[in-house]
Amino acid sequence: MRSVFRSFVLLAALTTPTALFAQASGGRPGGAPASAPSGAAASVVQDTILKSALRVYLDCQGYVRGCDRDFFVQELGFVNWVRDRFDSDVHLLLTTLNAGNGGREITVNFLGQKNYAGKIDTLVINTLPNDADDRIRRELVRTFQLGLAPFIARTPIASRLRLSLTGGPAPQQVNPRNVKDKWNFWLYRIDGNLQANGEQLVKQTNLSTSISAARTTDQWKINLGGSASYNERDFKVFVANSNNPALRDTVSVIVLQRASSVNALFGKTLTGHLTAGLKVSGGFSEVLNQKASLRVAPALEYNIFPWTEATRRQLTLLYTLGVNHYQYNRTTVFDQDRETRGNHSLLIATSQRQKWGNTNLSLEGSHYLHDPQRNLLTLSGLVDLRLGRGFSLNFRGSASRVRDQIYIARSTQSERDILTQRQQLQTNFRYNMFVGVGYTFGSIYNTVVNQRFGTLGESGRRFGFGGG
């Protein structure tokens, strides 16, 4: 027999005379909202809502497609949205991972606070690579409704809550191992990009293309890809006229940077923590003085935490041992036109995505086997912390100690090379850093959507057009 229920979609609807609580979906099509009382009556009802409704804080960590706060405020009018997690009853923590089909796996964590401390739930949704943002955000609304219903049931407005299931046949349990896929879990992608910008004296054109094939299962991860890029910068510089020094002529200085690469990664799951793999890559790069390069490197990766917890926390150690072959465009500072060198590296990385913020830290060291003095040490990190009510700290940066530039050309780098960075410059260190501190205070509520004087008309300025 087939059940009359096909999909277990939970809809939270608050039965109240106001339009705000007409439906859990914010009074959207599917049920006409009742008319709201006006004047003093409406004010009393809204004041009651502010006192008794659940306070929710939205926290989309990293880039989560479909995470549209304004849309959620409009669709989920039966909760109070607050701007700080310390003021919330429920902290909605969203994290995301790449899925094998090219889409994303979004994990929604419902973290109870204050009177709901200790009450935690987790729901997961999967998206396809070609899903529209609107479909994803509506699926997130449905997921929020599912996860928030048990919390709302413990509030004074629980009497206005009703739950329903959509009609249809009962779902059949499917074993993923028995799924028939005509593509055998392979996913292919082809990209081509053109970017151009310019002014009277400076023009730049970037062309790039890439192709990839990937297959991801519980036991195997295979990534194959290739890419090519062409970057041209045209500078108009003024020089004195050879016949009349009082006049100036313009001369074009064109800087070209071309590169291409192919790469392959094969990873095999050994245990719930350990993975073995093989990395193969090759290509050429004018910036790195490489006419051709080839690298083959077996690798082992170990995660201290189970991979099932990867959306919330990771602590990994990745060791690679490889052999590299290089052919150079110009003789290097070590008098080499070509060479084959072995090297190994160790990467220690940690990632935490918690209600207090997220951190990503890594430390990587490598050196060539023929000369340990030719080494590279890099520390990088991303920290986004919510240290207290309204107070946030952001840091992004990296620092490297560089001793492994065996590809630097022996010929003297000209002033033009240095200014245009046509080729990689010799250096003993690299760094980049961003630090930001913010403090927000005032109303704790974040429930008003007003798109007037938005940014739609400012796209020209964002792309670099408009006055200086």
> How big is the CA angle at 250 (ends 248 and 253), to the nearest 5 degrees?
140
How many Cα atoms are found within 13 Å in the side-chain-facing hemisphere of 250?
A: 8
Write out pLDDT tens, residues 215-252.
Answer: 988 899 999 999 999 999 999 988 888 888 778 888 88
- What domains sit in the chain, N to C, each tagged with a CATH number? 11-164 (3.40.50), 180-462 (2.40.128)
In sequence order, what E strands does 241-312 have?
248-269, 274-285, 290-303
Beta bridge partners of 435: 395
Q: Is the pTM of this model over 0.85?
A: no
Strand 54-60, strand 90-98: pairing: parallel
Write out pLDDT tens, residues 304-362.
Answer: 998 878 767 899 999 999 999 999 999 999 999 999 999 999 999 998 877 777 789 99
- Considering the chain, what is the average pLDDT of its residues? 81
Q: How far apart are CA 431 and CA 427, in angstroms?
A: 11
CA dihedral of 415, 416, 420, 424, whole degrees rounded to 10 = -60
Q: Which two tokens stand for residue 377?
A: 């040490």
Residues (pLDDT < 50) of the chain are 1-49, 173-176, 463-465, 467-468
Chain centroid, CA 366 distance in Å:
27
CA dihedral of 426, 429, 432, 435, whole degrees rounded to 10 = -160
Q: Beginning with the edge strand found earlier in the chain, give each strand of the sheet holding 90-98 in spatial order.
A: 79-81, 54-60, 90-98, 104-112, 120-126
Predicted confidence at residue 35, as pLDDT, reads 38
